[in-house]
Amino acid sequence: MRHAIYVTPARGTALADAGAAWLGRDAFADIARPRPEIPGLAPEEAARLTDDPRRYGFHGTMKAPFTLADGRGEGDLVAALEEFAAARAPFALRLHIALLGGFLALVPQEPEPALERLAADCVRAFEPFRAPPDAATLARRQAAGLSPRQQALLSAWGYPYVLEEFRFHLTLTGRLTPAQADVLLPAARAQFDALIGQPVLIDTLAVFREAAPGEPFQVVSAARLGGG
């Protein structure tokens, strides 16, 4: 079993609904959602290209998936998240869709210091809950062609894309060929059109659980920033 701390749009908001529909799954209820038709792409192909983000649920990573350390339980993690979130204020972002490392994602239009602080604070605050990664996990992450600094971050925090290497994104697809990206990009823009460039409130952190390797991640508990 693994857990993660993710930013997730509050359930029932326009962004949460648009993201769940695009991926074809609601991670709060762990139920399938009808996906939009994508011109020029068969439904089964569209489903395959969103397989990976659908399993993780619509989210932005704050503390990447980890196994709980000895002596730490899920209830402890949920309680710690509630206390952590209550001490931090919500803020707004403006998002747009970009091709990031070969996959489509919603990313901030401009840097947001509050987001950077939140991510760094999450990495540090929840480190006591993380058991050291096993050799297979480390090998998989090292195989991604990490820089020396990313290697150091992986050793220190169990994940290479933290602190100054952090790039916030809400993943929309798996890795795409240029031809696939040409088809999916306009469809994604259409799906999120009403939200692109508009202030989106970042006010919810959630504990997600992967019950077993390869199983879908599901929301265990959500906590509002500021304790709302």
The 10s digit of each residue's pLDDT in 192-224 is 999 999 999 999 999 999 999 999 999 999 999
Per-residue confidence (pLDDT) for residue 141, from 0 to 100: 76
Q: pLDDT tens digit string along 141-197?
A: 776 778 999 999 998 999 999 999 999 999 999 999 999 999 999 999 999 999 999
The C-alpha angle 66, 2, 48, rounded to 5 degrees, equals 105
**Domains plus CATH for the chain?**
2-227 (3.90.1140.10)
Token couple for 165? 């290497």
Q: The pTM is what? A: 0.91
pLDDT of 7-46, one tens digit each? 999 988 999 999 999 999 999 999 999 999 898 888 899 8
Q: CB-based contacts of 54: which residues, under 8 Å, 6+ apart?
A: 23, 24, 25, 47, 216
Cα separation, 175 vs 181, whole angstroms: 9
The pLDDT assigned to 143 comes to 67
Region 88-116: what's the mean pLDDT? 95
Which tens digit of pLDDT belongs to each residue from 104-149? 999 999 999 999 999 999 999 999 999 988 887 777 777 677 899 9
**Residue 85 carries which side chain, given as an amino acid letter?**
A
Contact call for residues 27 and 218 (beta carbons, < 8 A):
yes
Identify the residue with better confidence: 134 or 76: 76
